[in-house]
Structure 1
């Protein structure tokens, strides 16, 4: 049995029971970027001199560093899309060959022989080619006005967007050809390339979201009282033991 509108509080959440929502209040038209096509690029890169390949990059070597001892890891990854080129594919309307240029930047941390934490900034310039991606041209041309009203500009309804998850898989100290100590990083990343168009979508709606509750204040608490309420910790870690007997029955033989 579905709930009534009076019982329903419109808010974001998981719809865990089919048919329990009341009828929407209205159908609304919203303007949003819609994904028309996307693909995943997965790379594991190591340092190597020369032109970049699918497995190597010459920018994965740091500048000379002093007395490195232990590589810690990488942090503060950032992604910047620099340029996009799209070329129509003959005989396949809407499909394009897409060439993207982007920069991945991050800091690599290491500990020197004095026990101090040092870091090196890496900026990796990459170019990737997507042989076929469905990127249809928008029929409509969009021009929007901004405050002040006389200030208006044309907007590109077609969007190429990048999403990335990256990590440093390894870091190795070595010497370059001049005898300087350097850090070579192995970089792994997952890159999603999306082709989007700004479109109008018709969706059911329950009106505007309600005003949220007031932010809770965390009361000050005596640390000893909090300690007294806490459960007694386990004094020993769990043992990793194999079972003595097989779980299978004789019928399984």
Structure 2
């Protein structure tokens, strides 16, 4: 029987278990002038920041329907939810956090969905990037934002892959220590504080030897 993995002193063939991406596609969503209810700030509030979490698929919303006219493809229907945390400053200078979620994003797309054994599990995943498109404004008791969302939908599954490897990773470099607040400790360490090269004053450059020159020393 032939050797499926011939020996190579600089490379070897290894099998790893990975989550392989079988299919992916991208879409965009926009939410203009989305209002966020603000708590009682006790006066005028000012917008500070808003951070978005990665979108998640609501498990109960997933419906996969094979397409008879397109072998290996299926209709995927699911709902994506993107949540956020907005931060505002009240009249007293205190920071207030306001959690919330954007309107649910309903997706109805065609995906590659090949037939497989019943024991194999496909995973439908999404990755999102959400950003403010125009400066946020505060109108009355609402924070008004316009948000754009990039959505990447993926179909993944755990498989065993054979890849070329070059052995274990090399020894990592030493960690960089955070600077201490003890100046004497740093000064007494010659590695941290080397001897100054300008300890002595600079010398006059030596002149080019010739028939006449003046030596000031």
User: Is the pair's TM-score, using the shorter chain for normalization, greater than 0.5?
Assistant: yes
* 1:204 maps to which of 155, 164, 185: 164
Aligned to 2:66: 88
CA deviation profile, 1:157-203 (whole Å, cap 9, x unmatched): x111111111233423224xxxxx22222222211111112222211
**Pair 1:122–1:111, CA change in 2 (3 A):** same
Tell me what 1:41 maps to.
27
- Correspondence 1:72 to 2:48: yes
| TM-score, normalization by structure 1 | 0.58
Q: Deviations over 1:199-249 (max 9, x none)?
A: 2221111233345344343453749x89xxxxxxxxxxxxxxxxxxxxxxx
Q: Does 1:62 align with 2:37?
A: yes
Q: Which runs of 5+ in 2 are unaligned?
A: 1-7, 193-217
**How far 1:79 sits from its partner (Å)?**
2.9
CA distance in 2, matches of 1:125, 1:184: 14
Could you give the per-residue CA deviations for residues 104-146 of structure 1, whole angstroms, max 9, x where no partner exists?
A: 121112222333322211123513224211122333625xxxx
Q: Does 1:186 align with 2:146?
A: yes
Alignment partner of 2:136 out of 171, 182, 186:
171
Stretches of 4+ aligned residues off by more than 6 angstroms: none
Q: Give the distance between the partners of 1:46 and 1:163, measured in 2 at CA.
A: 21
Cα shift readout 1:43-83 (whole Å, capped 9, x = no counterpart): 22035xxxxxxxxx6xx432554333322220253433222
Residue 112 of structure 1 pairs with residue 90 of structure 2: yes
How many Å separate the matches in 1 of 2:29 and 2:64? Answer: 22
C-alpha distance in 2 between matches for 1:212 and 1:194: 34
Structure with higher RCO (Cα < 8 A, 6+ apart): 2
Is residue 2:159 matched to residue 1:159?
A: no
Please report how far the alpha carbon of residue 40 of structure 1 lies from its aligned counterpart in structure 2 after TM superposition: 1.0
CA distance in structure 1 between the partners assigned to 2:40 and 2:116 by the alignment:
51
Larger Rg: 2
